[in-house]
Amino acid sequence: VRVGILGAGQLAQMLTEAGTRLGMSHVLLAPEHDACAASCGVFVHGDYDDPHALSRFSEHADVATFEFENVPTHAVEWLEDRIPVRPSAEVLRIAQDRLREKETFRRLGIPVPRFEAINTLLELQHHAEAVGLPAVLKTRTLGYDGKGQAIVRDTRAESLQRAWRAIGGTPAILEELVPFDRELSVIGTQSPDGEQVFYSLNENVHREGILRLTMARATDPQREIAEEYARRLLVEFGYVGTLALELFEVEGGLLANEMAPRVHNSGHWTIEGAETSQFENHMRAVCGLPLGGTLQHRAAAMVNLIGTLPAVHDVLAIPDAHLHVYGKAERPGRKVGHITLIDHANNSVEFNTRVARALELAGEDAAAYALTLRESQRGA
């Protein structure tokens, strides 16, 4: 089977690694000259909505998927007229728009933070009290890694103006800033005939809007309810592929932040830590194959390498560290690799020491993650 992937970053790289093992071949389309997955298959260089590029891409593919959710939906619809696209343009359109996304969650009975649609500075002034401060103003579309967001702390005209200008004065939503106890994500995969699998819940720590650490444990008190919410989304859209749902845990309950209609950074640990990775299950679903088991035997941690890579030697000096280097040029704020650690010895003290070392190599202050590491100890 020839699988087409829109986007050629690290997610495409890990998808093709899984696909290659299953005998699939790949075609990738991306606008970057130096896309890191360009050598992972036939590479079509061009904008996502370039008709020539799209038609070359579709000629090389039996089925298509995407690794990036800001692909123009009209390009995906054009493809859908020619080959199956999984997941669909319909779910992509909703995931691209924070307002439609939150309205969908609400309609499906998935709790969300208080929010209001904001189209003008006047509306921002009008709704700030109702949403409650502090709040986050987010562009409806095109945000990622915390970009396109501004915090609103008070209702002074200049504060509101500053936030409105910071996001470029485009249609937005204003959300209460949730004082969460933990950030979680649930990842599941659905096949075309409705078979579903879910991975252990991920506990995620962000800094400056960018994911730094994921801890995944086989048991979590919130797992069942998180899975139920993800299940509703999979069913609603007749979803095919891997989906991630990002959640805030607050006062023992869950609020949905956003969904990603693709494989997700918080699921990278599944390559070494689960029976079948999120990437392989995505490719299986896209090709209509039976899904693989998602069982996790031991706690897993994933540390993102952001901006610069530490010395390979230093990473590999951590016992049983799994290093993934994406082959991207180093640039501030850019994800250039990750480290996965598995608690093989079922010894959380030793495991946490290794995770702390990985965090240090990633340039993080490991002490700031003590709470998450301790939590993992309790859960193990």
Q: Which stretch binds ligand ATP (CB under 6 A): 33-41, 87-95, 206-214, 298-306?
A: 206-214
CB of 254 to ligand ATP, least distance (A): 13
Q: Does residue 209 belong to the site contacting ligand ATP (CB under 6 A)?
A: yes
In the block, residue with structure tokens 């020539």? 52
Q: Which stretch binds ligand ATP (CB under 6 A): 44-52, 75-83, 136-144, 343-351?
A: 136-144
CB of 146 to ligand ATP, least distance (A): 4
Secondary structure letter of residue 311 according to DSSP: P
In the block, residue with structure tokens 């995770």? 355
Q: Does residue 101 belong to the site contacting ligand ATP (CB under 6 A)?
A: no
Tokens in use for 149?
Answer: 């967001």
Cβ neighbours of residue 347 closer than 8 Å, sequence gap 6 or more? none
Q: Which stretch binds Mg ion (CB under 5 A): 112-120, 131-139, 228-236, 238-246?
A: 238-246
Q: Which stretch binds ligand ATP (CB under 6 A): 18-26, 177-185, 229-237, 324-332?
A: 177-185
Residues 233-292 that bind ligand ATP (CB under 6 A): 246, 257-258
Q: Site map for ligand ATP, 283-322, x if CB under 6 A?
A: ----------------------------------------
List the alpha helices (DSSP H) in 277-369: 278-286, 312-316, 348-361
Q: Which stretch binds Mg ion (CB under 5 A): 104-112, 166-174, 245-253, 285-293?
A: 245-253
Distances (CA, A) of 368 to 69, 156, 364, 373: 31, 32, 8, 10
Question: In the set 178, 218, 225, 309, which binds ligand ATP (CB under 6 A)?
Answer: 178
Closer of 203 and 246 to Mg ion (Cβ)? 246
Q: Does residue 206 belong to the site contacting ligand ATP (CB under 6 A)?
A: yes
CA distance 152 to 163: 6
Which of the listed partners (Mg ion, ligand ATP, none) does 4 bind, with a CB threshold of 5 to 8 Å by partner kind?
none
Q: Which stretch binds Mg ion (CB under 5 A): 217-225, 239-247, 261-269, 289-297?
A: 239-247
Q: Which stretch binds ligand ATP (CB under 6 A): 49-57, 205-213, 344-352, 367-375?
A: 205-213
CA distance 303 to 355: 8
Closer of 67 and 246 to ligand ATP (Cβ)? 246
Question: In the set 113, 261, 267, 337, which binds ligand ATP (CB under 6 A)?
Answer: 113
CA distance 14 to 8: 10
Q: Which amino acid is at 185?
A: S
CA distance 255 to 226: 10
CB 204 within 8 A of CB 301: no
Secondary structure letter of residue 291 according to DSSP: P
Q: Which amino acid is at 19?
A: G
Cis peptide before 87 (omega within 30 of 0): yes
Q: Check residue 142 and give left, alpha or beta (phi > 0: left; psi -120 to 50: alpha).
A: left
Distances (CA, A) of 160 to 82, 114, 170: 46, 18, 14
Question: In the set 67, 116, 175, 220, which binds ligand ATP (CB under 6 A)?
Answer: 175
CB of 287 to ligand ATP, least distance (A): 26
Determine the Cα angle at 365 with ends 321 and 113, to 5°.
100
Residues binding Mg ion: number (CB under 5 A): 1
CB of 364 to ligand ATP, least distance (A): 15
Q: Does residue 7 belong to the site contacting ligand ATP (CB under 6 A)?
A: no
CA distance 268 to 285: 18
Q: Does residue 146 belong to the site contacting ligand ATP (CB under 6 A)?
A: yes
Closer of 134 and 293 to ligand ATP (Cβ)? 134
CA distance 77 to 305: 35
CB of 143 to ligand ATP, least distance (A): 4
Determine the Cα angle at 18 with ends 16 and 21, to 5°.
105
Q: How many residues does the chain have?
A: 380
Q: Which residues form the interface with Mg ion (CB under 5 A)? A: 246
Q: Which residues form the interface with ligand ATP (CB under 6 A)? A: 113, 136, 143-147, 175, 177-178, 183, 206, 209, 211, 246, 257-258
